[in-house]
Amino acid sequence: MAKHPGHCRVLIYSHDTFGLGHLRRCRAIAHAMVGHFSDLSALILTGSPIIGSFDFRARVDFVRVPGVIKLRDGDYTSLSLHIDIEETLAMRASIIQHTAEFFKPDLFLVDKEPLGLRGEVKGTLKMLKDRGTPLVLGLRDVMDEPALLAPEWQRKKVGPALRDLYDEIWVYGLPEIHDPLTGMPVPPSVREKMKYMGYLRRSVSAAGGAMPLPFDGPFILVTPGGGGDGDAMVDWVLAAYEQDPGLPYPALIVLGPFMQRERQGEFMNRVAALPNVEAITFDAHLENLMDQAIGVVAMGGYNTFCEILSFDKRAILVPRVYPRQEQTIRASRAQELGLVRMLANGDPRDPMAMAGALRALPDQPLPSDFPVPGLLDGLESVNGRLTEILNRSRYPSEPLLQARA
C-alpha cells in the first residue's frame, strides 16, 4: 500500500436519480483509491435510496442527499419527501456545497453529469475552482447517441463547464470501443482534457456472507441491473424456459431492487412453476454470483459489462433501446469485437430465439479469447492520474502521493 506524508481527501459526486449504475461505479473507484493509498479518505455524495445496503471499506463513507426520481415525461419529483421538487433540489445543492466546504477535498470527482442534477453542483464547482481544487469529470464509455446528447448538453449549458471548470475528463473505457463525445461539438481544448482510463476491473467481495446457491451445478445468472426497466428482458428469459423446459442449465434471476413490486410478484409466480429457475430481488454482492455463474444474461449497463469482462464470462446482452441508446451502442460494439452476443430487445420477442441463445451460451468464446490491450486498466489508471494531479497541485516540491511499487 502506498504511503504519503499528509492525509488526502477525495470527494465524489453521484446524482443517482434511479438505478444502481452511478453508485456502484463511484463505490468501486473509492475502494480502489483507499486500497492503494494508506492515508486517503473518500466521501461519496449520492441520492441513492439503497446506498445503506452496500458495505464500504475503511476510509470510505457517504452523505445521502434527498432522493429524486425521473418521471416518464422527463421531469423530476421528490422520491420520499412530500415537498416541491424545487425545494428538494435547493436542499440537495445546499448539502452538497456545505459538505464540500467543510470536507475540503484535495480533488472533486463528478460522475457523468457535468453540472449535476439540474445544475446542483455548479456552485460547488465554482467554489472549489476558486480554492484551487482539481476538478475531474468521470464519463462512462458510452453516453448516448450524439443526436440526443448534443441538444441535452446544450440545454443544460454544459459546454462552459467542460471548457472553464474541469481540469481533466476521465473516460472509463477505451477509444477502440467507443468515444463518449463522438459527434459532439466540443472544442479542441476539451478534447485535450480527455484521458482514457480503461474499464474498471471488479473483484469478488470478501465482505458479508455469501448467498447460498439454489443449484448444485452450473447455472446462468440473469440480471437486469437495478431492474427499473428490465422487466422485458426477464419476461423473455422466463418465456424461453416455459417454452423449452429442457434447457440444459438452470437460471438464477436477480430482479433488481427498483423493479415494480407488481412485476416482481408476477415473475415470482412464474418462477415458482419452473423447476429449473430461481429468483431473488437483490444481492449487494452481485459480483460474487457472477463469478460462480457459467454464463450471464444482462441488459448491458456499464457496471455489468465491467463485471462480465473482469470475470471473463460468456454473456448474452439484451440492451435497453429507450430512452437512451447507451446500452445498445456498447453491446453492438462489444459483439463486433467478439466479447459478447447481443439480442435485439424489440417486439416481438420470440421465446425460442432466447432459448436458442441460452443453449448456445456455454459454447460462446470467452471475452479473453479476443484480447484488447489495456481493457481493464481503469482503476490502476485512476490511481495513477490521482497521484500525478495531487503531487502537482498540492505539494509540487514534495510529492504527496507515491505510486505503488
pLDDT digits (tens, 9 = 90+) for 293-319: 999 999 989 999 999 999 999 999 999
* Angle (CA) 328 334 340, round 5°: 100
**H-helix or E-strand spanning residue 304:** helix 302-310
Q: Which of 87-96, 149-158, 343-352, 362-371 has the lowest mean pLDDT?
A: 343-352
> Which residues lie below 8 Å from residue 13, measured CB to CB, with a gap of 6+?
44, 45, 96, 108, 109, 110, 111, 116, 121, 124
CA–CA dist 383, 379 (Å, integer): 6
Cβ atoms within 10 Å of 192's Cβ, excluding its own = 10
pLDDT at 73: 53
Mean pLDDT value across residues 82-100: 90
Architecture of domain 8-201+376-393: 3-Layer(aba) Sandwich (3.40)
Q: 220-369 has which fold?
A: Rossmann fold (3.40.50)
pLDDT digits (tens, 9 = 90+) for 135-189: 999 999 999 888 888 998 999 999 999 999 999 999 999 999 999 999 898 999 9
pLDDT digits (tens, 9 = 90+) for 30-52: 999 999 999 999 999 998 887 88
Q: pLDDT tier at 207 (50, 70, 90 boundaries)?
A: low
Contact 105, 44 (CB under 8 A): no
CA–CA dist 345, 233 (Å, integer): 7
Return the exposure string of 132-167: e unless at least 16 CB atoms fall within 10 Å of the residue's CB, then b. Answer: ebbbbbbbbbbbbebeebbeebeeeebbebbeebbe
Query: Any idea where the domains of the chain sit in the sequence?
Result: 8-201+376-393, 220-369
Fold agreement between 8-201+376-393 and 220-369: yes
5 pLDDT above the threshold of 50: no
Mean pLDDT value across residues 126-130: 98
* 296: three-class secondary structure by DSSP: strand
